[in-house]
Structure 1
């Protein structure tokens, strides 16, 4: 969808045009469902998050300023809806940072290793491996590595300490690498 089409669609949605809203939903829903799946393990929760997000999109469409792309704006709302969902569903079990991880515990990947891993690992398989991480690890990994939040911001969003966010991210990476190696994806 080009910028002119996007602007016309937004303008129609701002006038509560149901056809435009349906078109926007149909155009962006598959991508947003994929974003939602980064944060939850099952189809039902992912769909609930996307539905909640689109309700927020249409309630707040008048606030859309045409800065950046419409898809990015909707994606941010989906991520925020996923975080809201996590807070609602969160169990009282939080992963603590009481055991600090030494830097040597996590083997950082150099560029050659990253390239080798990416050749052996499909996006779908990576998504599955990430979804198998403990919930808080998965959220921290997604928010830090994919969405670009700082550990300080993640701490505020998830209501955990900044150091817990760092620890969870390190553990998530370590567990992800272990899981990749367990399925035969190795460094060469």
Structure 2
């Protein structure tokens, strides 16, 4: 990206950008896409079972973003609204595919996730695992666990919200949370070749 386009990117705020996109300004649409596509693709990779499915979620999700920009009220960051729209689209995609009857719920993560940083265990003396590797491990989880992991740990939905989104009870969420946490700990333990404390 050129220095001038970087300056332009910083100068255009969320509300101006959304308004220009709704008016059909292709330059603004390209800027919005450029500004958010990397993080949104990373989000879809966490939901999809493979790259191809994640790509479908990503493309469909961005179409919805552009089609629903009039719903953005400007009260919060545009990026957060886009993230929610993409995540909801990913959930819709999972419902449509009906790959399996999912018994899913929430997942509590003991790791701080940032796509551009390493993932640091909560205990300082525990080994570190990179965000890229964690994303890869998430992809190895059963569909239900993976969906829950993303909704709770990444998207910060509550137990109640996830229960409503997925048509399950909060108690089911809490039960599956414990199973999902144990499953993820096992994956990480296998990856770093040493036990992780409970």
TM-score by length of structure 2 reads 0.78
Decide which structure has greater strand share: 2
Instruction: Return the offset for 1:26.
Output: 2.3
Unaligned segments of structure 1, at least 5 residues? 98-107
After TM superposition, what 4+ stretches of structure 1 lie above 6 angstroms from structure 2? none
Per the alignment, in what secondary structure is the counterpart of residue 63 of structure 2?
helix
Decide which structure has greater helix share: 1
**In the alignment, is the contact (CA less than 8 A) between 1:120 and 1:185 conserved in 2?**
no
Per the alignment, in what secondary structure is the counterpart of residue 38 of structure 1?
helix
Corresponding position of 1:138: 146
RMSD: 2.6
**In the alignment, is the contact (CA less than 8 A) between 2:121 and 2:127 conserved in 1?**
no
How do residues 2-81 of structure 1 correspond to structure 2 at under 5 angstroms?
2=10, 4-81=12-89
**In the alignment, is the contact (CA less than 8 A) between 2:44 and 2:58 conserved in 1?**
yes
Unaligned segments of structure 2, at least 5 residues? 1-8, 111-119
Instruction: Return the offset for 1:13.
Output: 0.6
Q: Would you say how many aligned residue pairs link Structure 1 and Structure 2?
A: 176
CA distance in structure 2 between the aligned counterparts of 1:118 and 1:16, rounded to whole angstroms: 51
Per the alignment, in what secondary structure is the counterpart of residue 26 of structure 1?
helix
Per the alignment, in what secondary structure is the counterpart of residue 67 of structure 1?
coil
Q: Does 1:159 align with 2:182?
A: no
CA distance in structure 1 between the aligned counterparts of 2:177 and 2:37, rounded to whole angstroms: 28
Corresponding position of 1:88: 96
